[in-house]
Structure 1
Amino acid sequence: MADFDTKARKARLRLALAGAVAVAALVGGGVLALSLLDSDDSAGQPDAKTPSSAAPSTSQSSTAAPSQVFTPAEAPRVPILKPRTNAEGIGTGFPPTALGATSAAVTYWEDLDLLDDVIARKQWTAIAAKDSPATIDQGVTEVRKVREGVGLPPSGGNPDGLTFATSVKAALVRSLDKSGDVIDVWMVYDRYATIRDKGADENPLRDEVTNLILKWDGTDWKVTTEAQYTAKVKGPRAYDPASKYAWAEGWRVVSDG
């Protein structure tokens, strides 16, 4: 069996392939762009009196007029909302807005366990749509593929001394239906490995791209991989923080606020 450092490197590389549990095939289909410029300082959790069945808001903020041209690096950053609740170590509880969906996707992607299939099953169960049970199985399967790819048993906990951290840098959102209840969130992220007594990974994964399709279930945003939605997914223009075309496409830098 390879030594620990080699396994850590293989795990880092394998994770690049394992990330997109909910990434759909890049096929054609009309989609509606949603603004992510809902970055008013007053943005926060919904009022307690807001009906749980309320559709996500798709109104555009006045932060940037349509005639203005930015790059993602120049434009106002999108503040990621803090989760109101926690389930199985993953942040949950987001409002029924486009910003809420974006915040949910970023939080889920950063909180998901990458090597412990037991924890991963609990987490995916907490965030998967009830009518999309295959999402859970796909998530667990990807974790087990990672484990096998680095010489670990297919099922088990995280190797002692090896941890990973995911950091989402930018996001792009699109509605997949007219109601705004189903939103496709694309993300650009970095992923770092940390090895005990050896420090952080000197060659982390950078600028990886994935997406999650989120469905409002009346109480929270849930991940779905239903074919009726994945068939509508269209891959966006490549992210570049210095590109006005990437900004026009809808890419926005995200911030923890």
Structure 2
Amino acid sequence: MVVPFDNQKARRARLRLVGIGVAVVAVLTAGGIVAVSTLGGDDKPGRADAKASPSPSPSDASASPGENEKYTPGSAPRIPILKATKHSQGIGTGFEHSSLGATSAAVSYWEDLDLLDDVIARQQWTAIAAKDSPNTIDEGVSEVRKVREGVGLPPSGGTPDGITFSTNVKAALARGLDKNGDVVNVWMTFDRFATIRDKGADENPLRDETTNLVLKWEDGDWKVTTAPQYTAKVKGPRAYDPASKWAFMDGWREVADG
């Protein structure tokens, strides 16, 4: 489940649907469609150039101290994102039980979640919500409907013809929240664009947004959880910066395209 920063206000990207005749102000929150605030105060991302001791993370496991000092997220090898092995309820699922599997699941879910179709959103959240977080589904649908109402659309329905949203996760940082590797928090930095038929790409996309998903290994797959016993352990990372060795030492890794 998304764990965005406390009291973070929704950001707006202006879109115009020529042909439909509707001026759309799309509410695309930095924390995503489901805004469940459980972090606050000191848990926000810090400056990437701050020289404090980095927190360990699963993504640091293969890097030696020398490598940590040598690389930045932009110069280090990118981490591969595994492909979903199953497709359920309009979203890819079926990722291996590993830190890379959790990271791949988080990236895949975040890029594929529907932003404006509440019916599809319900199907998707039903497929990826953990059993301990059933409210995740209704909250996801509720936020989509709020977005729809905010842009002048009926509360329920599909995405208007002629507009497409694209979310691109650029970097990720995975941290285990238990001793067994069954609960992993994945921070992500992403861009979000809109494409309008016959008009091209959005002129004011969201860039360099940061959000996270807490994933729990359940029934042979990674599920999104907002259970307090896990979200209470989430701590904010250093801010992602592709040129910062401190961001690399904290665990930020760029993800490979495709």
TM over 0.5: yes
- How is 1:182-201 mapped onto 2 (pairs within 5 angstroms)? 182-201=183-202
Q: C-alpha displacement at 1:35, in angstroms?
A: 2.9
What residue in structure 1 maps to residue 154 of structure 2?
A: 153
Q: C-alpha displacement at 1:32, in angstroms?
A: 7.0
Number of residues of Structure 1 aligned to a counterpart in Structure 2? 229
Counterpart amino acid of residue 19 in structure 1: G
Q: Secondary structure at the match of 2:238?
A: coil
The 2-side partners of 1:248 and 1:8 are apart by: 44
Q: C-alpha displacement at 1:153, in angstroms?
A: 1.3
The 1-side partners of 2:236 and 2:77 are apart by: 23
What residue in structure 2 maps to residue 35 of structure 1?
A: 58
The 1-side partners of 2:123 and 2:131 are apart by: 14
Counterpart amino acid of residue 226 in structure 2: T
Once the two structures are superposed, what CA deviation does each residue of 1:152-195 show, in whole Å capped at 9, x if it has no partner?
Answer: 11111111111101000000111111221111000000101011
Counterpart amino acid of residue 179 in structure 2: K
Once the two structures are superposed, what CA deviation does each residue of 1:57-99 show, in whole Å capped at 9, x if it has no partner?
Answer: xxx23xx322222110011110000110111221110000000
Gap change, CA 1:26 and 1:98, over 3 Å in 2: farther
Counterpart contact for 2:97–2:221, Cα < 8 Å: yes
Counterpart contact for 1:185–1:213, Cα < 8 Å: yes
1:81 counterpart = 2:104: no
Q: Secondary structure at the match of 2:58?
A: coil
Q: Secondary structure at the match of 2:108?
A: helix
The 2-side partners of 1:179 and 1:148 are apart by: 43
- How is 1:12-91 mapped onto 2 (pairs within 5 angstroms)? 14-17=27-30, 19=32, 21=34, 24-26=38-40, 33-36=56-59, 60-61=61-62, 64-68=63-67, 69=69, 70-91=71-92
Counterpart amino acid of residue 65 in structure 1: S
Structure 2 gap ranges (5+): 1-14, 44-53
Gap change, CA 1:198 and 1:28, over 3 Å in 2: closer
What residue in structure 2 maps to residue 126 of structure 1?
A: 127
Structure 1 gap ranges (5+): 38-59
Q: Secondary structure at the match of 2:140?
A: helix
What residue in structure 2 maps to residue 42 of structure 1?
A: none
Q: TM-score, normalised by structure 1?
A: 0.82
Identity of aligned residues (%): 67
* Structure 1 residue ranges, 4+ long, deviating more than 2 angstroms after superposition: 2-9, 20-24, 26-29, 31-37
Q: TM-score, normalised by structure 2?
A: 0.82
Q: C-alpha displacement at 1:151, in angstroms?
A: 1.0
1:244 counterpart = 2:258: no
The 2-side partners of 1:161 and 1:84 are apart by: 30
Q: C-alpha displacement at 1:18, in angstroms?
A: 6.0
Counterpart amino acid of residue 105 in structure 1: A
The 1-side partners of 2:23 and 2:256 are apart by: 29
- How is 1:160-179 mapped onto 2 (pairs within 5 angstroms)? 160-179=161-180
Counterpart contact for 2:118–2:157, Cα < 8 Å: yes
Q: Secondary structure at the match of 1:189?
A: strand
Q: C-alpha displacement at 1:104, in angstroms?
A: 0.1
Q: Secondary structure at the match of 2:38?
A: coil
Gap change, CA 1:228 and 1:162, over 3 Å in 2: same
Instruction: Return 105-114 or 84-93, whichever deviates more.
Output: 84-93
Counterpart contact for 1:33–1:175, Cα < 8 Å: no
Q: C-alpha displacement at 1:8, in angstroms?
A: 6.3
